Structure 1
Amino acid sequence: MPSRRRARRGNDHDDGSDDGFDGDADGGDRAPEIDLHGLRPEEALRRLALAVHSARVRGSDALLVVTGRGWGNERNEPVLRTKVEHWTRTQDARERGVLGFERSQKGGALRLRLKARPSV
């Protein structure tokens, strides 16, 4: 049986019902994560916004965002990672509770720092 992570990479059968969020808020050191690798930037940012909300509702103070290193395009530039980094600095991201980020996994992922759980 394929892992959840492997199954999420392909979006041939995506019905839009999955926010891409893969994690829990069990209080451990492992941050929940979302794999955006291979998605178009617009879809990736939509899913990222949903995952940030899900992570905060579940009480996480961080979210690991897998973008890949981005060297697989004609210009050898990290398109998706650059778009995600830019989004983290926007008003939309701030309103959703993103405080900042740091690169991890040799540049193939970003660890977002999140505000405390939103009040209900």
Structure 2
Amino acid sequence: MNQAFRHHGLHTLGSISKELKQQRERQEAQEKICQETAAKAERERNLFTHFVGSVTPLPHADRFEFQQQPPTPRPLQHELDEQRVLHEAMSDEFDVSTLLDVDDQLSFRRTGIGLDVTRKLRSGQWSIQRQLDLHGLRSDEAREALGQFIRLAHRTGLRCVRVVHGKGLGSPGKTPVLKAKVQRWLVQKKEVLAFVQARPAEGGAGALVVLLQPGKRKLY
């Protein structure tokens, strides 16, 4: 009986030892998994440093936050209104013949402007400050360019400008069609006080010297 008990006891101790060994192995395996997981997480955290190298963070005092200013809104409706008024104010159907002085150059002076003004323009006593050349433009392009030129010249305080319309030598029948249209358009511009044919050295029959009303000088 003692021998049977001793044999049973040894068997029990062996089972306990085996179980403890298995528990220790499981615990070691679990610890190994935890270590590997922690190492992987550390590698991922240091991935940038691993490839780029160590970096030094900038101090907060050196930071500058750029605040972009929104673009200035364009007065689109105002521009459209100006274009509409410009188009309506310069008609090709306007009869200018009764407003031109009856002379060999068909000069123009607005009511209240004396003959001495056009005489001074012809003699070159007014210094030409700016010039617009309409060569090569279609009629509608020339009208728009002339309207914008006169308006801008008046706004910037210019008084005397030259408009080159050409002599019409390249037109069908060699008729200066654009010249007549430019005269018609200029008469309809309220900024224009007078105009005369340019002197030969300044374009002659292919250009007009235009006197504008005084305007308050503006910078754009």
TM-score, normalised by the number of residues in structure 1: 0.67
Matched residue SS, 1:113: strand
Partner of 2:185: 87
Q: Rg larger in 1 or in 2?
A: 2
CA RMSD of aligned residues (A): 1.9
| Structure 1 alignment gaps of length 5 or more | 1-27
Q: Per chain length, whose mean CA-contact separation is higher, i.e. which structure has more relative contact order (CA < 8 Å, sep 6+)?
A: 1
Partner of 1:98: 192
Letter in 2 for 1:80: L
Matched residue SS, 1:107: helix
Matched residue SS, 1:101: strand
Say whether 1:62 aligns with 2:160.
Answer: yes
Q: Any idea what the Cα deviations from partners look like across 1:89-119, whole Å, max 9, x if unmatched?
A: 22xx12xx01121111221111111001158
Q: How many residues get paired?
A: 89
Partner of 2:136: 38
Matched residue SS, 1:75: helix
Letter in 2 for 1:41: S
TM-score, normalised by the number of residues in structure 2: 0.38
Please tell me whether the aligned partners of residues 127 and 160 of structure 2 are also in contact (alpha carbons under 8 angstroms). Answer: no
CA–CA distance in structure 1, aligned partners of residues 163 and 213 of structure 2: 16
Q: Which has the higher helix share?
A: 2
Matched residue SS, 2:208: strand
Structure 2 counterpart of 1:112, from 207, 210, 215: 210
Matched residue SS, 1:45: helix
CA–CA distance in structure 2, aligned partners of residues 89 and 30 of structure 1: 19
Q: Which has the higher strand share?
A: 1
CA–CA distance in structure 2, aligned partners of residues 49 and 118 of structure 1: 18
Letter in 1 for 2:172: E
Partner of 1:49: 147
Please tell me whether the aligned partners of residues 131 and 162 of structure 2 are also in contact (alpha carbons under 8 angstroms). Answer: yes
CA–CA distance in structure 2, aligned partners of residues 37 and 114 of structure 1: 22
Please tell me whether the aligned partners of residues 131 and 161 of structure 2 are also in contact (alpha carbons under 8 angstroms). Answer: yes
Distance change in 2, residues 1:48/1:35 (3 Å): same
Letter in 1 for 2:137: L
* Percent sequence identity over aligned pairs: 33
Letter in 2 for 1:114: L
